Homo-oligomer: A and B are copies of this chain.
Amino acid sequence: MEGEQLNTDQTKTERTMNLYERVYDYINTRIVRGEWSAHDRLPSIRELARIMDVHRLTVFKAYQLLKNEQKVYVKDKSGYFVSPINREESSKDYDKIKASIQNNMLSDIQQLPAHFQFSQAIIDPNLLPNHFFSEYIKKVFDFYPKILGSYSPLQGDDELRKALAEYFFQTEHLYVSEDEVMITTGAQQAIDLITDFLIKPRDTILVERPTYSVAIDIFRQKEARIVPIDIHASGYDLERVEYLMRAHKPRLFYINPTFHNPTGYTLPAEQRKQLVDLAERYHCVLIDDDPFHDIFFDQKPPHPLFLYDTKGYVIYIRSFSKYISPGLRIAAVCCRPWIMKHLCRAKSLSDNGTPLLNQKIFLHYFFSSRMQSHLEKLRIALSVRKEIMEDVLSETDWQWESPKGGLNLWVKVPEPTQVASLFQRSIERSVSFVPGEYFDSERTNKSWIRLSYSYANEQEIKQGIKKLVSIYHDA
């Protein structure tokens, strides 16, 4: 019985895809291992179909792909043969770039090797308080000797949730009880869990344009319809938001209103209140994703939208991973009970609770006085890096709005420069950034780029941005 015939219509395509990938792997692995060498004759389609118990068309498809990738070649009509290995490393990298652009995965871009690293919106590990952490960890083990023998409560450590609820009240005036706080393994998990229960295929989600590309990937996976709304330095056109809410009846609006990624824009307080009003009127859940809250340069940003929540439509995701410890992966989600109930259910199916050790370490560090002084130093270090980047760029005709916080510059490269071509030439010369289309659900953005000033050090920023500008002029 053939795999291709085993299926309902809905899954037919997918299973067929899996089968030919399996055949592809089978052949490719043996070539890579050297079991089959250059110019060896490969098994015939008929033979392989029999060995692997699949349809001949499946084998044919696998061979076609291998042929397109120049891993095998066809001689006359006598069959498939292993190609000699003649591709250089550089062309492999180029394949990788091409593949990443096809998949539109930000993570692929970020994995490309580059000495001048401006594609990673993560903080230089040298700026993080690594060397202090071991002390806090010792403390955690003194306080909770059996910590590694215990699972965390599903919703998160009680002590941490209580402390964060109090902290949100003190710092942001949020009325939120510990029962309205969940600890997740990073903000991304929170977004994934929320959409798990809130979004069914063909539901509509409003997103900002541009927006965090991983969120788009998650929404696409849930088969949501994605409707973008432009974000400007002054916020959104709220009439347009209302029009879209009325016309598209979105189930949720995913926003990043504070030092927005990638633009750095911040939604003013009055717009925050109006947006919550709109969301309540149109029964649209707002996800306020807030990973850069404490990374401000002059003054604290406006309060989270949760402050204006009266009817339970706002979900607040505050993550700390970026500026305290990426290795811990701690985020907090605030929401009202009617949503928390579903979130708990989703979390129980997903991982049944974030590791307890990580929560306790975070708790003890976050509420220490050392943490405050770390944050102050970090803000200064990042604003210096930002200014260095802006200094070099000020000699060009590129345009950007100087951000008041966050990790990125969102820069418009004057037309008719092709960002795609600039990107390829930059990567070849070891300078990386993220082309704007990665932040655009419709991928129409062709003239903006995101330059992160958080990962490279001052020297690298100076040299790397100069290099980027000269690559630009070389076109």
Taking Cβ atoms with an 8 Å cutoff, the residues of A that contact B are: 1, 3, 6-8, 10-11, 14-15, 18-19, 21-22, 24-26, 29, 52-53, 105, 107, 122-123, 125-126, 128, 130-131, 133-134, 137-138, 141, 145-152, 154, 185-186, 188-189, 192, 196, 200-203, 214, 217-218, 221, 246, 249, 251, 280-283, 311-312, 325-329, 336-339, 341-342, 348-352, 355-358
Contacts and interface: CB of A to CB of B under 8 A. Distances in A.
Contact of A133 (B133, B141, B154, B192): B141
Given A8-B202, A355-B185, A130 B107 contact: no
Contact of A351 (B22, B25, B281, B329): B329
Contacts of A185: 185, 351, 355
A148 B130 contact: yes
Q: Which of A18, A145, A221, A246 has the most CB of B within 10 A?
A: A18
Nearest to A21: B338
A128 B107 contact: no
A149 B249 contact: no
A148 B336 contact: no
A140 B189 CA distance: 26
Most central of A126, A196, A355 by chain B CB within 10 Å? A355
A113 to B, nearest CB: 14
Contact of A327 (B11, B147, B283): B147
A146 to B, nearest CB: 5
Contact of A348 (B1, B11, B105): B105
A8 B225 CA distance: 13
B134 A141 contact: yes
19 contacts: A6-B283, A24-B338, A25-B312, A25-B337, A26-B312, A53-B283, A53-B311, A107-B352, A125-B146, A125-B149, A128-B146, A128-B148, A130-B146, A138-B138, A152-B327, A186-B351, A189-B351, A217-B349, A327-B356
B325 A149 contact: yes
Nearest to A4: B283
| Number of identical protomers | 2
A141 B135 CA distance: 10
The 3 nearest A-B residue pairs measured at CB: A125-B149, A148-B327, A128-B149
A147 B358 CA distance: 13
Contacts of A341: 21
A432 to B, nearest CB: 16
A299 to B, nearest CB: 27
A73 to B, nearest CB: 22
B336 A22 contact: yes
Contacts of A3: 283
Nearest to A325: B148
B281 A53 contact: yes
Contacts of A342: 18
Nearest to A350: B192
Contacts of A7: 249
Contacts of A311: 22, 26, 52-53
Contacts of A214: 348-349, 352
B338 A188 contact: no
A123 B10 CA distance: 43
A195 B325 CA distance: 30
Nearest to A284: B6
Contacts of A25: 312, 336-338
Nearest to A358: B355
Contact of A357 (B202, B352, B358): B358
Contact of A11 (B188, B200, B352, B358): B200
A250 to B, nearest CB: 9
A203 B329 contact: no
Nearest to A128: B149
Contacts of A348: 105, 107, 214, 217
Contacts of A134: 138, 141
Contacts of A192: 349-351
Contacts of A246: 1
Contacts of A122: 151
Contacts of A325: 148-149
A107 B249 CA distance: 35
A450 to B, nearest CB: 18
Q: Which of A14, A130, A145, A329 has the most CB of B within 10 A?
A: A329
